[in-house]
Structure 1
Amino acid sequence: MGLYRVQVYSWKATLHAEYDPFDYAAEPTRVYGQPHLAMGISDVRGLVGTPHLQVDGRTLALESGAGALADRSAGIHAQLNPLTDPVAGRLRDGNKVDMQFVLDGTRRLAIAPIADNNEIGLRSTWQHPSFGGRFLPNAPSIGPKGFDASWSLSSLATGAQTQLQSSSTSLDTLEVRLVDPVDVYTQADRASKYGILFVVLTFVAFVLFELIKRLPIHPLQYLLVGLALAIFFLLLLSLSEHIAFWQAYLISAAACIGLQFFYLSGVLRSWVRAAGFSVMLTALYAVLYSLLISEDNALLMGSLLLFGILASIMWVTRKLDWYELGNSLR
């Protein structure tokens, strides 16, 4: 919906749980109420269809609400039959639980490991997961076909059980985020961070023209050129919401380079000089685009770009007599 794109997922979950029988003999004075199974879900609107719950192979009906967890979270629960034999301490419905459900969500999935022993596995075709929360997976596999991650957690390593029984407002969770490393908003944000570099390089070139060619440039002309460079990023963001990013980048760069060429031909009093500046800007925009679409080599390419720019400035000014130039300016 709308212009903003959000990563969504459909989690096909299979849950299996086993719990020990109640030790009634250890606490004979305890009064047991109506037992139930509860699962907290932060937003039950993501449930697709009706979850399927079985206890010892027998299907049980699920109800809305998280039962005993209702004060903490939304969710679902199922009523179990009461204890049939308090001495034996077993539930009539058994001790093995199997459940299947589908949950739709956006961006992230968080799971609280509240069992004594938690074995959790997640598999997806998404190629760019970001693992977070309190626990990282054991040797996750990430490749062109997606990712496969697993967690093996003991209650000794997590405080989720204690937090659940207390009044704590948060639980220790493991988390997976769906990250798009080259979405248009991330690319536009990264591009804007290079905006200062573009303006500085253009101003440096102006200063060199002033010093070497004795060509005066008014501060207002500096300002107009800087604004023309800055508006590129606004054009890029606004156009990329409607067309492909590379098309938005090409149109924005062409428009700004054309504007700079037209204006600088008058400021620098030469079409040739203006063309030289336009070529420089074209090269910078081309390198910037390579940086934006690169996932793994952006830092290396950025470092090489800065090194190349510094080397070019040093080469252009290597024979410049700064003392003589300073005396002439006085």
Structure 2
Amino acid sequence: METSNNENFNDSRQLGFWEKNAVIVKLSMIGFLSLLLLVPSAMIQNLISERTQTRDEAVKDIYAKWGKEQTVAGLILNVPYRVVMKDRDGKEEVSLAFLHFLPEQLAISGKIVPTIRYRGIYKAILYNARLKFGGRFSQPDVKGLKVNPESILWEDAFLTLGISDLRGIKDVIKLTINGKTYGVNPGVENGGVFHSGVTIPFAIDQSMVVNAFNFNFDMDLNGSKKISFWPLGTETKVVINSNWNSPSFSGAFLPEKRDITENGFNAEWKVLELNRNFPQKWVGDQYGFEDASEKNVVLEDSSRKINTATDFTFGVNLIMPVDFYQKVSRSAKYAIMFIALTFTAFFFIEIVNKKRIHPIQYILVGMALVIFYSLLLSLTEQIPFNFAYMISSGVTIALISWYSYTILKSLGLMMLMGIILSGLYVFLFVLLQLQDYALLMGSIGLFVILSLIMLVSRQIDWYNIKQLNLG
């Protein structure tokens, strides 16, 4: 026994540096090649980002010609009043300020008819919304507003309706108040609280000052992807239905009732005055309703204006069932895992079967793994993602399996590589389908893969590998 140990010791002393450290050198080389292949992998991810940006620009161009995302708010009653102030010389100066009153009841119902338009290979979701508005204003009560009733100019009052993109209006809006029809003017007059919308001159007589009045009107509105509403009533009710079966309910309030089927959806919202932080009446420009999603408006806290992007709008977003660019981007993030595991498989084949694999051959296999993502991206722009994935992974597996046969000269080892690669691509496909459980399944999968590697390597005597050739 002692003689045998001495022989092994003498043999190890006769080995050169490269022979004694062959495993470490080979692993270092494989690690370096894996990191080197991150460069083309990063280029693929940049290509995906560029194609996504090109798609977004094409879609925005379609939106601009049809009608952008719409936000509808109103009606609001605006009443001017005189403000008398004295200057430094004691002379009186008269200016106008405005009172604003919101409706007591606001009911909106309508049907959204979606359509898909194409720009080359890119498609955008557009819609036409047929909306019915109805509601009731209680008598304008100026108590608590600290305004002299005699200074109020009731005859110069006007109503405003906020519409974020006026290009989407497809028919004349006719407003009916207590049975009388009123004309609608484009734009928002000075004193209105919207940055975009229409104005309805509405001279209030004495009977309206002391009584409530009802209103209703229809709106034919084009928009894209998303429609939102402001809850301006003491009680606001919105009922929307559509034949689009992939809605995403967005904003500050979710619908109280919703029904989503393969044939479309139906949703109902009910929002109270108590659910928001602005009142039913105010003076001046204390509150405003800016479309921050359109103008990227960031309002100062001191202005006390309300920011659409972060406050109380609600509505529905018509989403695409599958964003294939997102899936391709997610799959490209696993490139380093595929390269490392495939190289690991080839490395163990070298160890166990004493085969020679040159670094150039490692690089060629790695490039085939990277080109898979380019194939997937180009194909999925033309055909459904699942078919594109099946074709891209199939030809990649076939190419690497065939190449491994030319290197290893073994049909069994070729089939083993094919099985390993097939398992990896099936594993990735499952991860792409499971958005909510992707992290869990990915962690479990990597744990299983590591266990298999440990199982295969447990019989290898890493201190006594003499036949490993560094290529």
CA–CA separation in structure 1 for the residues paired with 2:120 and 2:195: 30
CA–CA separation in structure 2 for the residues paired with 1:328 and 1:190: 37
User: Are 2:254 and 1:152 aligned?
Assistant: no
> Shift of the alpha carbon at 1:191?
2.3
> Shift of the alpha carbon at 1:59?
2.8
Q: Is the 8 A contact 1:112 1:160 kept in 2?
A: no
- 2:379 paired residue number: 239
Of 400, 413, 423, the residue aligned with 1:283 is 423
User: Are 2:200 and 1:60 aligned?
Assistant: no
CA–CA separation in structure 1 for the residues paired with 2:287 and 2:152: 24
* Larger of the two Rg values belongs to structure: 2
Do the aligned partners of residues 146 and 274 (structure 1) sit closer, same or farther apart at CA in structure 2, a change above 3 Å counting? same
- 1:110 paired residue number: 228
- 2:206 paired residue number: 85
> Shift of the alpha carbon at 1:235?
1.3
> Shift of the alpha carbon at 1:301?
5.2
> Shift of the alpha carbon at 1:201?
1.8
- Secondary structure, counterpart of 1:48 in structure 2: coil
Which gives a bigger RCO, structure 1 or 2 (Cα 8 Å, sep 6+)?
2
Q: Is the 8 A contact 1:135 1:174 kept in 2?
A: yes
Q: Is the 8 A contact 1:182 1:292 kept in 2?
A: no
Q: Is the 8 A contact 1:60 1:78 kept in 2?
A: yes
- Secondary structure, counterpart of 2:404 in structure 1: helix
- 2:168 paired residue number: 46
> Shift of the alpha carbon at 1:308?
4.3
Q: Is the 8 A contact 1:236 1:252 kept in 2?
A: yes
> Shift of the alpha carbon at 1:202?
0.7
Which deviates the most, 98-107 or 21-30? 21-30
User: Are 2:153 and 1:29 aligned?
Assistant: no
CA–CA separation in structure 2 for the residues paired with 1:139 and 1:203: 54
- 2:287 paired residue number: 163
Once the two structures are superposed, residues 136-163 of structure 1 have per-residue CA deviations (whole angstroms, 9 ceiling, x without a partner) of 3335444444333333323333235653
> Shift of the alpha carbon at 1:167?
6.5
CA–CA separation in structure 2 for the residues paired with 1:321 and 1:138: 66
- 1:8 paired residue number: 126
- Secondary structure, counterpart of 2:255 in structure 1: coil
- Number of residue pairs aligned between Structure 1 and Structure 2: 326
Once the two structures are superposed, residues 214-271 of structure 1 have per-residue CA deviations (whole angstroms, 9 ceiling, x without a partner) of 3343444333322211211111111221223333223322332232233323333434
| Residue segments in structure 1 that go unaligned for 5+ positions in a row | none
Amino acid at match of 1:30: S
CA–CA separation in structure 1 for the residues paired with 2:209 and 2:133: 24
- 2:298 paired residue number: none
- Secondary structure, counterpart of 1:66 in structure 2: coil
- Secondary structure, counterpart of 1:222 in structure 2: helix
CA–CA separation in structure 2 for the residues paired with 1:273 and 1:186: 35
> Shift of the alpha carbon at 1:8?
2.5
Which deviates the most, 240-249 or 61-70? 61-70
CA–CA separation in structure 1 for the residues paired with 2:439 and 2:260: 22
Q: Is the 8 A contact 2:235 2:271 kept in 1?
A: yes
Once the two structures are superposed, residues 86-128 of structure 1 have per-residue CA deviations (whole angstroms, 9 ceiling, x without a partner) of 7x6158xx72111221322222222222333322233333333
Q: Is the 8 A contact 2:173 2:217 kept in 1?
A: yes
User: Are 2:319 and 1:319 aligned?
Assistant: no
CA–CA separation in structure 1 for the residues paired with 2:343 and 2:262: 43
Q: Is the 8 A contact 2:376 2:388 kept in 1?
A: yes
Q: What is the Cα-based RMSD across aligned positions, in Å? A: 3.4
Q: Is the 8 A contact 1:133 1:174 kept in 2?
A: yes
Query: Could you state the TM-score of these two structures normalised by the residue count of structure 1?
Result: 0.82
Q: Is the 8 A contact 1:253 1:285 kept in 2?
A: yes
CA–CA separation in structure 1 for the residues paired with 2:433 and 2:170: 36
CA–CA separation in structure 1 for the residues paired with 2:461 and 2:189: 83
> Shift of the alpha carbon at 1:299?
5.7
1:101-140 aligned at under 5 Å gives the runs 101-138=219-256, 140=258
- Secondary structure, counterpart of 2:396 in structure 1: helix
Q: Is the 8 A contact 1:10 1:104 kept in 2?
A: yes
